[in-house]
Amino acid sequence: MAASGSPLRIAQGQIEIPAALRKISFALCAMNLIICLMAYLSRAWIYDRNGLGIPTDFISFWASGHLALDGIPAQAFEWDVLKRVEIAKLGQDFEGDFPWHYPPPFFFVACGLALLPYSVAYLGWILASLVPYLAVMRAIVGHNFGILLALATPFVFINALVGQNGFLTAALIGGTLYLIPIRPALAGICLGLLTYKPQYGLLFPIVLIAAGHWRVFISATVTTIAVFVASWLTFGIESWLAFFHWLPKSSQAIMTEGKATWWKLQSFYSIVRYFGGAEQLAWTFQFILAALVAAGLALMWRSRLPYSLKAAALAAGTLLATPYVAIYDMVVLAIAVAFLVRTGLRAGFRSYELAALACTLVLVAGYFAAKPTGLGVTLIVSTLILARVGSWWRRPVPGMAMAGE
């Protein structure tokens, strides 16, 4: 056994899910679905009681898609222009902004959504991005329980309610990690598509080089170049020029002036700023953390550590290394948990692991009190991963398969 706790039990060739884990996951899954249903029926989701579109993050996708279809995608990066379009499409004014700061390849998604009516596009986007996320979680866990675990993640309904792309980000990161040992070319394609959110791909080149996964590296590079060229040919060089022109201005507004409000971000950087720390101090702490995470992952991926622990560490590390972590992107943490659960189902859960994961629910609840508690959730999961890594290093064994079994 690689860990203490409940032994691995096989019932008619199937892995037996611990009763407590199954019941808690079912309860959380039901809660997520009920909240979404109640929000829709009470007109607190998609449309309000007056039949007008509710302003959420999704409107930036839909409005930007319309601008791209009109042949002026570069104007989507201009906050004032985009807001006027959003107001016109929703039929009502709103406070604040829902800006567009994605690289031009994401216009392909936005254009597809803009071809549909608002409600169809909203629900269709949630369901279409949910499917690959569920499939990846099922594949990682290696059991149908993975689907239940995916839907039980508390960040699921947050992402769904605002119509964001957390499901897609988690699916691409999870797909990359799952496919690296078995389909490196496909893994590289997933990683190349992740460039629509480049802050979550920063650690991958480090670990791929450290572990010598050159086929993945090459495939990701080719895919990245392909989507960049395709977006250039489709939306014009002006879209790329606008992206690079507005990128520092968006960074200034969000990361320096805090227009997104600090409690909505879940990074070490945002925690320092939330408690009144200076920008330079926050960047110093964030760079130190990112350097430590990068160095630790490079060592792990060069070692003979079970692959499931390497993958879990990288999934969690992507959230720790970047200063810009929105609450909906915390869905990515489900990928790290899935690899941990995969290991636990085959090697036995430690006595404290399920209890520690349950504690994260309390921290998630803190978000609704306008507190940036997401970093605490990431740190708890990271600690559980490091505990398993430390035990493996203290008692080295021959290299094991992907699941760590």
Give per-residue pLDDT as tens, 22-78: 999 999 999 999 999 999 999 999 999 998 999 999 999 999 999 999 999 999 999
Instruction: Give φ, ψ of 334 to 5 degrees.
Output: -60, -30
User: Residue 11 in 3-state DSSP?
Assistant: strand
Residue 53 pairs with which residues in a beta bridge?
Answer: 47
User: Residue 97 in 3-state DSSP?
Assistant: coil
Asked which of 7-11, 22-26, 328-332, 368-372 is least confident by mean pLDDT, the reply is 7-11
Whether the pLDDT of residue 398 is over 80: the answer is no
Structure confidence at residue 218 as a pLDDT band (50, 70, 90): very high
Give yes or no for a contact between 166 and 300, defined as CB atoms under 8 angstroms apart.
no
d(CA 62, CA 31): 28
Task: Return all residues near 124 (Cβ < 8 A) that are at least 6 apart.
Answer: 113, 116
pTM of the model: 0.92
pLDDT of residue 316: 98
pLDDT of residue 396: 52
Whether the pLDDT of residue 9 is over 70: the answer is no
Say if strands 14-15 and 10-11 run parallel, antiparallel, or are unpaired: antiparallel
d(CA 264, CA 374): 9
Mean of pLDDT over the chain: 91
User: Residue 326 in 3-state DSSP?
Assistant: strand
H helix and E strand count, the chain: 18, 2
Nearest CA to 373 among 220, 264, 252, 254?
Answer: 264
d(CA 286, CA 267): 8
User: Residue 45 in 3-state DSSP?
Assistant: strand
Place of tokens 């060069």: 302
At residue 269's C-alpha, the angle toward residues 264 and 270, to 5°, is 20
Give yes or no for a contact between 108 and 231, defined as CB atoms under 8 angstroms apart.
yes
Q: What is the pLDDT of residues 80-139, one digit of tens each?
A: 999 999 999 999 999 999 999 999 999 999 999 999 999 999 999 999 999 999 999 999
At residue 96's C-alpha, the angle toward residues 157 and 194, to 5°, is 50
d(CA 404, CA 335): 16
d(CA 54, CA 119): 10
Instruction: Give φ, ψ of 45 to 5 degrees.
Output: -140, 130
Whether the pLDDT of residue 185 is over 60: the answer is yes
